[in-house]
A and B are shown apart, each in its own frame.
Chain A
Amino acid sequence: MIRVESLTKVFRRPRAFSGPLGPLRTLVTRRYDERTAVDGVSFEIPEGEIVGYLGPNGAGKSTTVKMLTGILTPTDGLIEVGGRVPWRDREANARAVGVVFGQRSQLWWDLPLIDSLRLVGDLYDVPAARFTGSLRRMCDLLGLDDFLHTPVRQLSLGQRMRGDLAAAMLYDPPILYLDEPTVGLDVMAKQAVREFIAETNRIGRTTVVLTTHDLADVEALCRRIILIDKGRVLFDGGIDDLVTAYAPPRRLVVELADDETRAFEIAAGSSIPELIARVSAEHTIRDLSIHEPDLESVIKRIYAESER
C-alpha cells in the first residue's frame, strides 16, 4: 500500500540576515541554509496494517507524513502510495487518504459540526446517499449525535477530536494518517479514539500510520513500529521483537528489613529462584517483586544509544 525508498528531504531556507536592511537582503539572497530533516528512510506498509511511527521531537516524523500526503515534495528518493506518487498526483492521492492532526482541527470553527461534515462530503464528492450512510455510521461509532448541531468552537477537545476523526473517514479513504490524535485528551476520550481506530481498521481494512508520543496508543493499537531519529530509521519491526532485542534485563527488586530497597539485574538465562536464594542468604527480605522492562524504557535506551 505504501512504499518508501531512500526518502530524503532537505529544507533550504534563504539565509536570514540581521541589521536594518536584513529583511530586504533575505528577500533577494542566493545564499541558503540547509537542514536535512529526513535522511534516506525506507519502509513498506502492506494494506490493513497499523504502524506506529515514532521518534523524538524533530526526528522527521511530520516531514515524512507530509511527503506521504503530497504536501511536501521530496528532495530525493521514491514514494508510492496506493500506486501513486503523492506529490506528482496530489489531488488523486488526497482522495485516498484521511489525515488527522491532533493539534489542528480541519473543522470550520464558527459553524455547527454537521456543516463541516457536509462540506467535507462536498469536497470529496461523496454522493448524497453514501454520505447519509457514512454519517450514520460515524455517529454510531463516535457518539456524535449529542453535539452534531453545536458550533465547533464550543466543543470540548475530546468532542472536537471525534468530529475530526469523522471528517477524515467520511469518504472511506483506504489510508489514514494520524498525527498525535490523543494529545491533550482525558483517559475516556483517549479510549474512544483508540477504539475508533481499531474498529475502522478491523471493518474497512484501513491502513493506519500513527505518530504519537503516547506509547499507550502504540501498545493498544500497533503490532509494528518504525522508530526514527535525526531523519534515519533506527528500528522497524514488531513490538515484541523490539522488546526482546533491546530490552534491558529484568530486575529483581527487594525490600529489606531495614527499609532499604535494592535492585538486582537478572542476567538472560539465569535462574530466578537461585538469585532469590542468594540474596536471602545475605539479607532479610521483607518483600520482593520482578520488574519487566516496559516499552518506554526500551525506546529510551534506543535513543540513548543513537546519541552515542
Chain B
Amino acid sequence: MIRPLAGMARIGLRFQLAYRSDVIMSVLALVAQVFLLRMVWTSLYGGQGQTRGLSLEALLAYLSLANLQAFATSPIIPRITHFRIRTGTVFFDLSRPTGYLPQMAAFQAGHTAGGLLMLAPAVPVVLLVGTITPTAHPVGYAATLALGYVISLMMSLLICVIGFWTLETGAISLLYRLVSHFFAGTMVPLSFFPGALGVLADALPFKYMGYVPAAVYVGHISGGEIGRAVAVEVAWIAALAVLLWAVWRRAHRRVVIQGG
C-alpha cells in the first residue's frame, strides 16, 4: 500500500522539477506579485497606522506568506486527470491495486514537495521584500497550515472526480484556481472584504488555504480563535471526506459501466 504511493509521490516531485525553466519564471512572477502588492498597499496606507486591525508591516508579511503558500500548494492533479481522461490512460490508473484518489493525493504531495524545493532559493528574496519576522504562534501556524493543505488537497480531488462526468476539467480547474485564490485572500486579507462579500468569504473553505494560517502567523488571529479555526478545519475535512467518498463511488461506477 505504501510503496506504490511513495512511487506516485516521486513521480509528482519529478514532474515539478522537469518543468523547472517554467517554474523559474513562475517564481519570478511570484516575486513580482509580492513586490506589486507591497507597492500598492504601501501607497494605499500612506502613513496611516492600523487599518482593520492590521499594521502595514503585519499586512506586508501576511501578503508575502499567503502568496508563498498559494504558490507552493498550487493544485496540479486536476490538470493531470484532465490529460489522462482525454488520452484514455486513466484506465491504467484505475486498474492499479491502489485506489485512484490515494494515487492522485500522493502525486499532489510529491508535486508540492517539488514546489517547496524550487521555492527554496526564492524564499529569502520574498522574505526580504515582504519583511517577515518570526511568528509568536509557530504551533498554531503549522497546525492551521497543515489542515488547510489537506482541505485544499480534498477540493482538488473533488475537481478531479468531477472530470469523470464532464470529461473536461481544464477550464473548471482554472476557474477553481481563480476563485480559490481570490477567496483565500492572497491579494486582500479577508478582513477588508466589504459586506456580503465578506460574509461569503468567511463561510467558504478557501480561507484556510491562505488567509487563516497567514493571519495566525502575523498575530491577526490569536488566542482562542486559533483553537476555533483548527476545530472548524477538522469539521471541513470530515465533511469533505464524506462528500468525496459519495461522489467518487458514483463516478467510479459510471466509468466502469460506460467504459469511457
Q: Which residues of A contact B (CB under 8 A)?
A: 20-24
- Chain A min CB distance to B148 (Å): 29
8 more A-B residue pairs beyond the given contacts A20-B20, A20-B121, with a C-beta to C-beta distance below 8 A: A20-B24, A21-B24, A22-B21, A23-B20, A23-B21, A23-B24, A24-B21, A24-B24
Interface-central residue, A20, A21, A22, A24, by most chain B CB under 10 Å: A20
CA distance A22 to B21 in the complex (A): 8
Query: Which chain B residues border A24 with CB–CB below 8 Å?
Result: 21, 24
Interface residues on B, range: under 10
Q: Which residues of B contact A23 (CB under 8 A)?
A: 20-21, 24
Q: How far is the CB of A29 from chain B (nearest CB, A)?
A: 14
Cα–Cα, bound, A21→B21 (Å): 8
Which of B's residues lie within 8 Å of A, judged by CB? 20-21, 24, 121
Cα of A23 to Cα of B21 in the assembled complex, Å = 6
Residues of B contacting A: mostly:
helix
Listed A/B pairs (10) with beta-carbon separation below 8 Å: A20-B20, A20-B24, A20-B121, A21-B24, A22-B21, A23-B20, A23-B21, A23-B24, A24-B21, A24-B24
Measured between beta carbons, the chain A residues less than 8 angstroms from B21 are: 22-24
CA distance A287 to B24 in the complex (A): 73
| Cα of A272 to Cα of B121 in the assembled complex, Å | 81
Top 6 nearest A-B pairs by Cβ distance?
A23-B21, A20-B20, A23-B24, A20-B24, A24-B24, A21-B24
A179 to chain B, nearest CB (A): 27
Closest Cβ–Cβ distance, residue B54 to chain A (whole Å):
36
Measured between beta carbons, the chain A residues less than 8 angstroms from B24 are: 20-21, 23-24
Closest partner residue, chain B, to A23 (CB atom): B21
A24 to B20, CA, bound (A): 11
Residue of B nearest to A19 (CB): B20
Per the bound structure, the CA–CA distance linking A24 and B21 in Å amounts to: 8
Q: Which residues of B contact A20 (CB under 8 A)?
A: 20, 24, 121
**CB of B27 to closest CB in A, whole Å:** 10
Closest B residue to A20 by CB, please name it: B20
- Bound state CA distance, A23 and B20, in angstroms? 9
Q: How far is the CB of B217 from chain A (nearest CB, A)?
A: 28
Q: How far is the CA of A109 from the CA of B20 in the complex (A)?
A: 33
Residue ID in chain A nearest B20 by CB atoms? A20
State how many angstroms separate the Cβ of B87 from the closest Cβ of chain A.
16
CB distance from B124 to the nearest CB of A (A): 15
A24 to B24, CA, bound (A): 9
Query: In whole angstroms, what is the CA distance A20 to B24 when docked?
Result: 8
Closest to B21 in A: A23
A221 to B38 alpha-carbon distance, docked (Å): 72
Can you name the residue of chain A whose Cβ is closest to the Cβ of B23? A20
Q: Whole-angstrom distance between the alpha carbons of A23 and B27 in the complex?
A: 14
A21→B20 CA distance, assembly (Å): 9
Closest Cβ of chain B to A78, distance in Å, is 40
Contact partners of A21 in chain B: CB under 8 A = 24
Q: CA separation between A23 and B22, bound complex, in Å?
A: 9
Q: How far is the CB of B210 from chain A (nearest CB, A)?
A: 27
**How far apart sit A305 and B21, CA to CA, in the bound complex (Å)?**
44
Q: Residues of A contacting B121 with CB < 8 Å?
A: 20
- Considering the complex, give the chain B residue whose CB is closest to the CB of A27: B21
A6 to B20, CA, bound (A): 43
In the complex, what's the smallest C-beta–C-beta distance from A306 to chain B, in angstroms? 39
Q: What residue of chain A has the Cβ atom nearest to residue B22's Cβ?
A: A23
Please, how many angstroms separate the alpha-carbon atoms of A110 and B49 in the complex?
61
Chain A contacts of B20 at CB under 8 A? 20, 23
Alpha-carbon distance A284/B24, docked complex (angstroms) = 78
Kindly state the separation between the CA atoms of A23 and B23 in the bound complex, as whole angstroms.
11
- When chains A and B are docked, how far (Å) is the Cα of A22 from the Cα of B23? 12
Measured in the bound complex, the distance between the Cα atoms of B23 and A20 in whole Å is: 10
B28 to chain A, nearest CB (A): 10
- Within the complex, the shortest CB–CB distance from B33 to chain A, in Å, comes to 20
Give complex CA distance A101, B121 in Å: 47
Residue of B nearest to A24 (CB): B24
Given the complex of chains A and B, what is the CA–CA distance between A21 and B24 in angstroms? 8
Q: Shortest beta-carbon distance, A27 to chain B, in Å?
A: 9
Separation of A20 and B18 alpha carbons in the complex (Å): 10
- Shortest A230–chain B CB gap in Å is 33
How close is B184's CB to chain A, nearest CB, in angstroms? 28
